[in-house]
Amino acid sequence: MPLKGTITALITPFIDDKLDEEGLIKNIRYQISQGVSGILPLGSTGEAPTLSPAEQEKIISIAVKEAKGKVPIWVGTGAYCTRQTIEKTKKAKDLGADIVLIVNPYYNKPTQEGLFRHFEAISNAVDIPIVIYNNPARCCINIEASTLIRLANLPNLKGLKESTDNLSHTTEYIHRLAQEGLDFAILSGDDVNTLPMMSLGARGVISVVSNLVPQGIVSLVKAASAGNYNEAREIHYGLLPLVKAAFLETNPIPIKAAMSLCGMAAGECRLPLYKMSPENLHKLKQVLITMNLIKS
């Protein structure tokens, strides 16, 4: 199963702090209709840590029912406990997930050897394609290139979602993987870096902004994949105000606010995330007006 294109990191819609199942179904159908390459429930954009196990299972089941056979279903199953990550990954596979995204263990800050052993244990325990999520800002640890090469040789490790602003780091990853002859996908984990990372050899993006404008992100990724960089740059700069606005506050606060303003199922985030400040909400509205996504 090729790991490339536009994968939408789905928000989890709520109504009165309860899972909005109908809203989730509508959002998934919208994503599929707009040509995304995959959907990813239960990532950080989906507020997975705030969801009960029953809610998580319900979300996976809805995604499988709506998308199975249409687009690959990615599921975030990472935790800072290896055993718990294995349990969540097994459950996701049993429920029909095609691929899992597993974030580096956060809070307990393992060494590079601990990182390797963590993913090795998961790979040995569950036969499913695994994509690592490297996000030093959230996890306080970073995968070194030498560790990534070791991980890329494990049987079920297939790719990396890279969420850093350090493009030299991304370059080293891609170059070292090529030197070793390893078919290991690198995907941008930040919308703002999709174009520069793809120019270096990344294969697509796991996107937040595509919740709202999937067709725009799909067009950007397709243009960059085809080497049409003039077109890709035009799309990139056209989307840039929205991309910046989507990260005025902690993700997914702004993207859920934007979706709500545009009449899509979203609702507010669960605590400890809180609604946008009035100042930032005004900035977001102005961007949406300028881009003709809402009326003034």
Q: What is the pLDDT of residues 116-148, one digit of tens each?
A: 999 999 999 999 999 999 988 787 889 999 999
d(CA 42, CA 237): 29
Decide if 18 is inside a domain.
yes
Residue of 93, 133, 158, 222 marked catalytic: 133
Which residues neighbour 110 within 8 Å (Cβ) at sequence distance 6 or greater? Answer: 118, 141
Active site residue 237: no
Decide if 181 is inside a domain.
yes
CA-nearest of 161, 78, 152 to 116 is 152
Decide if 51 is inside a domain.
yes
Decide if 139 is inside a domain.
yes
Number of separate domains in the chain: 1
List the domain range (segments joined by +) for residue 185.
Answer: 5-227
Decide if 25 is inside a domain.
yes
Whole-number pLDDT of residue 86: 97
Residue with the two structure tokens 């040995």: 124
Decide if 70 is inside a domain.
yes
Whole-number pLDDT of residue 165: 82
- Show the low-confidence residues of the chain (pLDDT under 50): none
d(CA 42, CA 99): 12
Beta strand 185-188 with 157-162 is parallel
Q: Are the C-beta atoms of 189 and 133 separated by less than 8 Å?
A: yes
Whole-number pLDDT of residue 84: 96
Residue of 88, 93, 161, 285 marked catalytic: 161
Whole-number pLDDT of residue 139: 77
Whole-number pLDDT of residue 107: 87
Decide if 258 is inside a domain.
no
Whole-number pLDDT of residue 106: 87
Active site residue 133: yes
Helices marked H in the chain:
21-33, 53-67, 82-95, 112-125, 136-139, 145-152, 167-179, 194-200, 214-225, 229-245, 253-261, 278-290
DSSP letter at 277 equals P
Distances (CA, A) of 94 to 99, 126, 280: 12, 10, 41
CATH classification at residue 47 = 3.20.20.70
Decide if 289 is inside a domain.
no
Q: Which helix (H) or strand (E) holds 40?
A: strand 38-40
